[in-house]
Structure 1
Amino acid sequence: MGDEAETSRTASSDGPACRADTVWLRGPFGTARFKVAVADDAQARAQGLMNVESMPSSTGMLFVYEYPRPVSFWMKNTLIPLDMVFADAEGVVTSVHENAVPLDETSIPGEGMVQYVLEINGGLARQIGIGPGSVLRHPAITDGAWPCQ
């Protein structure tokens, strides 16, 4: 992958291949791909992207919860601005918080019942066109609106 988030205007009807280290997004913009680390347990979710000094724009972190729930994040010990993409049990984006401020301890809640959160570099969600209604695709999203085959 290059230095920019990879986007495409086309995808097969089945969609791109699912991999544990990759999240795909689909929306009016086409598709976008991010290489991700997965935080799927309490310890990994608590650590998140704290103390990361830089991150290529084609990468991020996917937070996976066992079931949909109200969630909120903060930026304590997080050194780079982030966009937080909140999604429901089907991987449908419910809200996006843009450009979370590094080191800020203000709570950033997702809207509705959230099961997945994708963190990417601040400003990318708007640049790409990721917003409510966009859909995530990843093997952890077992009942997805854009399921892995």
Structure 2
Amino acid sequence: MSAGFPSRGGLSSRQPLFGAPPEPASSSSVQVSVQQSEFNLDDEVMGLRGQMAQLKTMSQQIGESSRENSAILAGLEETMEKARLALKKSMKRMNKAYEQSKSNHLLYLVLFSLATLFGLYFFAKVVATIRWLLGYH
């Protein structure tokens, strides 16, 4: 049996994830191969300049977006402050109305109205009785 990891299909060793298949353990030398391709420094510099221009444009857009978000946030804070003040004013009104509802002024108003209506009714009956007694039918 081989020293690798046996698997079905006749493979006798595990394949590496990256690179070339492993060298036998008896080999102690490492081989490095560098392929000479056409390397143009001017093209690389131009490519980097293009990327820098893109990064600069992107950073300016991020700055503009940040300023817009700051303006929106400032407007939101102002709106929240106005809402807080309106709520505070409404709470004062409600507390005042609540304190007034605890007093009996509505009861006094109803009793006064009933007394006035009873007084008018009684006055009308007295006038009708006087007319009847005097004969002004």
- TM-score of the aligned structures, taking structure 2 as reference length: 0.14
Q: With CA pairs under 8 Å and 6+ residues apart, which has the higher RCO, 1 or 2?
A: 1
- TM-score of the aligned structures, taking structure 1 as reference length: 0.13
Q: Which has the higher strand share?
A: 1
Which of these two proteins has the greater Rg computed from alpha carbons? 2
Q: Which has the higher helix share?
A: 2
